[in-house]
């Protein structure tokens, strides 16, 4: 027999975001459904060759190029992190948004000397509306504390700001698609410019690949300093490190992550 709780968990992980109607309703009849999804062809007709079965990137209501252009315009117009936060919340061009409960932009101290950029919200972050609040986030907090930094600094600690490469939870925590990363990237870049941090840490493949499309995988990219130069600004040192979720699965790799954190501490001169 199927455990109903397991079934609901599976639906939630697959991106089902509403099960609250008393009566069944035909999704295809919704006048304001948030994305284009053609109904299946009737049995007697040959299926349309391009009928999409999975919602992704360019199947969203707005073509990806258009969405990325709009994101760039909105990002450029934001003159503070608060304005950028609002612009991201108001933006409807990312196909992940209709399936997410919350828009997750940042946590910690805006404009802090250290900026952490993660991948995308997971289940806990989607529920709470803040980045890195689940198990990986708790490990990240311990890692940051080990170098005297915190998103909620007490005396003697340096402040950190934490954001992500994607602002809406991908269904089932899958890796974000290139299209989703392209749409969110202008906001990520503007977040860096407006934060003007002294150093940036990228956790894992997603932020590293978003900012440096030619970067190797994280196993080779980690520990290698890079630079990011905002338009008209100064170069900021950037260090890719292993994602804390990976460290939870591979504790033996914490040794390398620790070496990377010490390099960040050195660079920030937080002794
Ligand atoms: N992993 C991330 O990269 N970001 C989050 O916000 C949570 C988990």
**Per-10-residue mean pLDDT, the chain, length 271:** 65 55 51 44 44 40 93 98 98 96 98 98 98 98 97 96 98 96 98 98 98 98 98 95 98 98 89 43
Rounded CA-CA distance 153/122 in Å is: 24
pLDDT score at 269: 80
* Residue 61 pLDDT: 74
- CB proximity list for 130: less than 8 A, separation 6 or greater: 104, 107
Ligand 1 pocket test: which of 245, 246, 249 has the largest number of ligand atoms within 8 Å of its C-beta? Answer: 245
Ligand 1 pocket check for 57: Cβ under 6 Å: no
Tracing tokens 């304005």 back to the chain, one arrives at 83
* Closest to 267 measured CA to CA, from 241, 230, 231, 232: 241
Atom 7 of ligand 1: nearest residue by CA position: 132
- Ligand 1 proximity of 164 Cβ (cutoff 6 Å): yes
3-class DSSP state of 79: coil
d(CA 53, CA 38): 8
């Amino acid at each position: 027999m199927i455990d109903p709780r397991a079934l609901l968990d599976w639906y939630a992980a697959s991106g089902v975001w509403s099960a609250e109607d008393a009566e069944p309703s035909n999704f295809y009849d919704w006048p304001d459904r948030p994305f284009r999804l053609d109904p299946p062809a009737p049995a007697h007709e040959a299926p349309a060759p391009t009928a999409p079965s999975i919602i992704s990137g360019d199947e969203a209501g707005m073509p990806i190029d258009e969405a990325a252009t709009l994101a760039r315009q909105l990002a450029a117009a934001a003159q503070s992190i608060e304005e950028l936060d609002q612009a991201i919340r108001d933006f409807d061009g990312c196909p992940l948004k209709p399936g997410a409960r919350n828009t997750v932009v940042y946590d910690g101290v805006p404009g802090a000397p250290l900026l952490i950029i993660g991948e995308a919200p997971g289940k806990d972050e989607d529920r709470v509306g803040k980045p890195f609040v689940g198990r990986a986030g708790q490990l990240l907090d311990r890692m940051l504390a080990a170098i005297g930094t915190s998103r909620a600094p007490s005396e003697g600690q340096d402040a950190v700001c934490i954001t992500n490469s994607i602002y809406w939870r991908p269904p089932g925590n899958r890796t974000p698609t290139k299209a989703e990363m392209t749409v969110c990237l202008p906001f990520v870049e503007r977040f860096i410019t407006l934060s003007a941090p002294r150093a940036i840490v990228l956790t894992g493949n997603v932020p590293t690949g978003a900012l440096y499309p030619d970067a190797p995988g994280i196993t080779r990219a980690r520990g290698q300093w890079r630079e990011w130069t905002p338009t008209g600004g100064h170069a900021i040192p950037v260090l890719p490190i292993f994602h804390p979720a990976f460290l939870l699965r591979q504790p033996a790799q914490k040794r390398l992550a620790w070496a990377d954190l010490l390099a960040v501490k050195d660079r920030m001169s937080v002794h």
